[in-house]
Amino acid sequence: MSGSENRLRGSFTRLASWDGAVILVAVVALVVAAAAVDGFGTSNNVTFMVLDLLPIALLALPMTLIIVTGEIDLSVASTLGLTSAVMGSLWNSGMAIETIIPLCVLLGAVLGAVNGVFVTVFRLPSLAVTIGTLALFRGLALVVLGESAVADFPVVFTTWVTGTVADTAIPNVLLPLLLLAAVFTVVLHATPVGRAVFAAGAGEQAARFSGVRVDRLKFWLFVASGAVAGLAGVLWTLRYSSARADNGLGLELAVVAAVLLGGVSIFGGRGTMPGVLAGVLLLATLQNALRLEDVTNEALNIVTGALLIVSVLLPNISRSVRTAAQRRRLRRTPIPQPATPPAP
Amino acid sequence: MTRQDATPLLEVRDVAKSFSAVAAVRGCSFPLYPGEVHALVGENGAGKSTIVKMLAGVHQPDTGTLLVSGEEAAFAGPADAKAAGIAVIYQEPTLFPDLSVAENIAMGRQPRGRFGAIDRGRVRREAAELFSRLGVRIDPERPARGLSIADQQIVEIAKAIGGSASVLIMDEPTAALSAVEVERLFAVVRTLRDEGAAVLFISHRFEEITELCERVTIMRDGAHVSTDLVRDLTVDEMVRRMVGRDLDALFPKQDVEPGAVVLEVEDLSREGVFRDVSFTVRAGEIVALAGLVGSGRSEVVQAVFGVDGRDSGAVRVNGKRVRPGDPRSAMAAGMALVPEDRRQQGLVMDLSIQRNVTLPRAGALARLGLLGGGGERREAGRWTERLRTRYGRLTDPVGTLSGGNQQKVVLAKWLSTSPRVLIVDEPTRGIDVGTKAEVHRLMSTLAAEGVAVLMVSSELPEVLGMADRVLVMREGRIAADIPRPRATEESIMFAAMGQEANT
């Protein structure tokens, strides 16, 4: 069999796969929204939409790697909130913004390391750990800043975050987002780390037997997740020029929804970064279009929730249909059997 | 004591059972007389467990019949076997830990009192009666949790005879027991025997068989070898019948002059698993690690490779220490482990053949930290081809391959790391004869190239055919180090079972 034939068949299966479908649906949704929804295609709206999807997209990048390894980080939105609160408090104390921003990213990394230690050293399930830190970090944010808000951040920074590149509709923040997205895509799909991520998620024991340092890998993924959440906290604060303890409340739902919608298996071992980015885009397009159509925030939540269920349900259904078909085929062909009967 | 004139309570007559193309049991017959303990012995894989499962109603024989008190019987399921008075006591008892001992004994047939409620008083009384009948003192009120394995087995026995079982099948009940506990269990078994029950007793320990059993059936490779009175046989004769088969020409062992010591294992210990394990493997040498299932062989090699930790001891490759609990360090030193459990440990079944082959070497294959551009494909293609692996595409999930080809992928994966020490754990388990010979040839070639090979194997022909030296493990220790000229099936089995070789 020739190599080109291999590649051709490979791309066919990719098109037929879930993430291929999501990319297609996202593009269709964009086109339909641009044609049918008043004001969707305006440059102002495009800028807004990018600003809206920015935190979800950022958090979805490390979340994808974490979910592919079979773990989850539900504390990202609270990490964002705590970072924002600390940022406000430090700014109030008179520290220079140039110092505060790297400190906030570092704080996020430390919070991620806390999750990582609980998961890899104490061997607790990440679902339980990060539900705990979800509440803990948000609580700490309230301790740091209380109900108040800090708003007087330097204009140079806030206008850069909300501004666009020269006279185009391209928001400035799209550049760091694209850069990070490229980095995470390459890491997941074209580096030894990415290979280890998939192996750890699809067969942790076999990965360990192949020399993958699974615990170390997971620890650093949680650190990366925290650091990116810290960065997202900084950008969120600057965008709204408002440091508040409840910034990004409930955002983890949208992030997980986007990742699963993008074809990442909640059980680990499967997923692609292009699929996840399409998932983010699809979610943002729907939310933006519905908002332009004056749909309420409650209804938007319903849409997000429904998408989450559908994205978990559909790939499972299609896979079980496929394996059922496979089994039927197998039953008609002899199954290779162990040469020795089971040892007594 | 034996009652040969009596009708057997249970008789196995010319029973055969195959799983697909593999015959697990072919043509086995033996009677279980009332008032007799009957031993069933054979090597791992001889078909004992399959016999037990047929008697328990879990499997149905393909041909042959089971006779209960002289009447032909067919068990459609475990319930039928139970109704026929057959009870199986497994090595690991299956009690409900949070229920009381008495409740466990009454499970499934609780006596009812008024309004259909369970009559707790009777449950307790019946348990107490059973225990006094068996001559043991266990508090029926206490929870099953915390009972020793031996006591749990006695509770299982009480449960069985409480359900009026007359045939008791005990599958390696003593494997996890201390000498005192074994005596306790034997006393109970003798009581039952004297009451007229028939007991089928499976054990690897000859001293137990000679002490407890009247009759012994020996199986080999699924076939029935003999059924005799125990007093008519010597232990030597039993071992000879268990292992006596021809070494076939499947083992293309090349004679290699061993070089310098490559792998050194010194005083390796892990609490409760293995103790003071020391050995060396030279370049070009194939050393087999033999012993019974559960003697700690896989645990030792996994600790040597570092996927498991160790409490003490040192592992050195070419004189350099390998860090404990760190497979990466072992791999950097030139070690490779083809593990026992292919599906869980050897391969990531959902990943492609290519990804599996290149997983340990992904770092080395990357250029400037990046993978892609076909480097992985070429590497995977080269090694799978060298091992003549049959597959559709390298991007197919490895789980779609046959067992033999999966094993070749595992071997390809580790050979691509150019190991100086290759550890293989049951390298040919569950693969067809042709592939087996290929794997053996490969190991022989590697040794000839100067690789130090350590092979865990439960198949004695494989051990004898391939090994320059045989280390025999028993109960977590190395019991014997037998050089090739002195290695025979008998000498290995004796060492594995804790008997002195006197043949």
Any A CB within 8 A of B433 CB:
yes
Q: Which residues of B touch A206 (CB under 8 A)?
A: 344-349
| pLDDT (average), residues A137-151 | 94
Residue A328 has a pLDDT of: 60
B81 with B179, same domain? yes
Residue B97 has pLDDT above 90, yes or no: no
Model confidence over A225-280: pLDDT tens digits?
A: 999 999 999 999 999 999 999 999 999 989 999 999 998 999 999 999 999 999 99
Residue B101 has a pLDDT of: 92
Cβ contact B307–A336 (<8 Å) = no
Q: Which residues of A touch B427 (CB under 8 A)?
A: none
Residue A297 has a pLDDT of: 81
Any B CB within 8 A of A187 CB:
no
**How many domains, in total, are found in chain B?**
3
Tokens 């979340």 sit at which residue? A63
Model confidence over A68-127: pLDDT tens digits?
A: 999 999 999 999 999 999 999 999 999 999 999 999 999 999 999 999 999 999 999 999
Residue A1 has a pLDDT of: 39
Q: What angle do CA B240, B244, B247 make, to 5 degrees?
A: 145
A343 band by pLDDT with thresholds 50, 70 and 90: very low
Model confidence over B355-381: pLDDT tens digits?
A: 999 999 988 898 888 888 788 999 999
For residue A313, which phi and psi values (nearest 5 degrees)?
-70, -50
Any A CB within 8 A of B313 CB:
no
B20 with B85, same domain? yes
- Does B17 fall in a domain? yes
Tokens 């559709």 sit at which residue? B392
Question: Is the separation of the CB atoms in A133 and A115 below 8 Å?
Answer: yes
B464 with B325, same domain? yes
The mean predicted confidence, pLDDT, of chain B is 87
* Sign for the pseudo-dihedral over CA of A218, A223, A229, A235: negative
- Does B122 fall in a domain? no
A334 band by pLDDT with thresholds 50, 70 and 90: very low
Cβ contact A340–B350 (<8 Å) = no
Range with top average pLDDT, B17-31, B176-190, B207-221: B207-221
> For B360, which of A190, A210, A337 is closest by C-beta distance?
A210
Residue A340 has a pLDDT of: 42
Model confidence over B322-345: pLDDT tens digits?
A: 999 999 999 999 999 999 888 899
- Does B106 fall in a domain? no
B87 with B187, same domain? yes
Residue A150 has a pLDDT of: 93
B425 with B399, same domain? no
- Does B346 fall in a domain? no
Determine the Cα–Cα distance for residues A21 and A39; give it in Å rounded to an integer: 27
Nearest residue of chain B to residue A196 (CA atoms):
B359
Question: Is the separation of the CB atoms in A115 and A222 below 8 Å?
Answer: yes
Q: Which two tokens stand for residue B293?
A: 């299932």
Cβ contact A340–B19 (<8 Å) = no
Q: For chain A, list the domains and their CATH numbers.
A: 18-316 (1.10.3470.10)
- Mark which of B226, B243, B260 sits at the end of a domain: B243
Residue A332 has pLDDT above 60, yes or no: no
Determine the Cα–Cα distance for residues B113 and B129; give it in Å rounded to an integer: 19
B299 with B413, same domain? no
B217 with B366, same domain? no
Residue A175 has a pLDDT of: 93
Q: Is the pTM of this model over 0.80?
A: no
Residue B174 has a pLDDT of: 79
| pLDDT (average), residues B441-447 | 92
Model confidence over B385-425: pLDDT tens digits?
A: 988 888 888 988 998 887 788 999 999 999 999 999 999 99
Any B CB within 8 A of A94 CB:
no
Residue A222 has pLDDT above 80, yes or no: yes
In three-state form (DSSP H/G/I as H, E/B as E, the rest C), the secondary structure along A221-240 is: HHHHHHHHHHHHHHHHHHHH
What CATH code is carried by the domain that includes residue B456? 3.40.50.300
How close does chain B come to A158, measured CA to CA in Å?
36
How close does chain A come to B20, measured CA to CA in Å?
7
Q: Which residues of B touch A210 (CB under 8 A)?
A: 327, 359-360, 413
Residue B185 has pLDDT above 50, yes or no: yes
| pLDDT (average), residues B299-303 | 95
Residue B282 has pLDDT above 90, yes or no: yes
Residue A338 has pLDDT above 70, yes or no: no
SS3 state of residue B370: strand
Determine the Cα–Cα distance for residues B424 and B200; give it in Å rounded to an integer: 36
Find the domain containing B304 and state its range: 248-334+419-503
Model confidence over A155-211: pLDDT tens digits?
A: 999 999 999 988 888 899 999 999 999 999 999 999 999 999 999 999 999 999 999
> For A340, which of B202, B360, B429 is closest by C-beta distance?
B429
Determine the Cα–Cα distance for residues B310 and B329; give it in Å rounded to an integer: 15
B221 with B258, same domain? no
B423 with B391, same domain? no
Determine the Cα–Cα distance for residues B146 and B423; give it in Å rounded to an integer: 38
Cross-strand bridge partners of residue B36 = B198
Give the burial string for A120-151 (b: 16+ CB within 10 Å, else e): beeeeebeebbeebbebbbebbeebbeeebbe
Please report the residues numbered 255 through 274 in chain A whose beta carbons come closer than 8 angstroms to any beta carbon of chain B: 269-270
Q: Which residues of A touch B49 (CB under 8 A)?
A: 341-344
B224 with B234, same domain? yes
SS3 state of residue A111: helix
- Does B339 fall in a domain? no
Residue B238 has pLDDT above 90, yes or no: no
Residue B237 has a pLDDT of: 83
For residue B474, which phi and psi values (nearest 5 degrees)?
-140, 125
Q: How far apart are the first and last CA of chain A?
A: 44
Determine the Cα–Cα distance for residues B284 and B447; give it in Å rounded to an integer: 4
Any A CB within 8 A of B419 CB:
no
Tokens 């009026």 sit at which residue? B164
ipTM, two decimals: 0.82
* Sign for the pseudo-dihedral over CA of B165, B170, B173, B174: positive
Residue A5 has pLDDT above 60, yes or no: no
Q: Which two tokens stand for residue B56?
A: 């328990």
B76 with B16, same domain? yes
B113 vs A16 pLDDT, higher one = B113
For residue A257, which phi and psi values (nearest 5 degrees)?
-60, -45
Q: Which residues of A touch B20 (CB under 8 A)?
A: 334-335, 337
Residue A117 has a pLDDT of: 98
- Mark which of B395, B418, B441 sits at the end of a domain: B418
Residue B432 has a pLDDT of: 65
Residue A11 has a pLDDT of: 47
Please report the residues numbered 367 through 396 in chain B whose beta carbons come closer than 8 angstroms to any beta carbon of chain A: 369-372, 392-395
A329 band by pLDDT with thresholds 50, 70 and 90: low
SS3 state of residue B159: helix
- Mark which of B195, B213, B243 sits at the end of a domain: B243
B67 with B159, same domain? yes
B257 vs B409 pLDDT, higher one = B409
Residue A138 has a pLDDT of: 97
- Does B412 fall in a domain? yes
B501 band by pLDDT with thresholds 50, 70 and 90: very low
B215-220/B223-229 β-pairing: antiparallel
Nearest residue of chain A to residue B430 (CA atoms):
A338
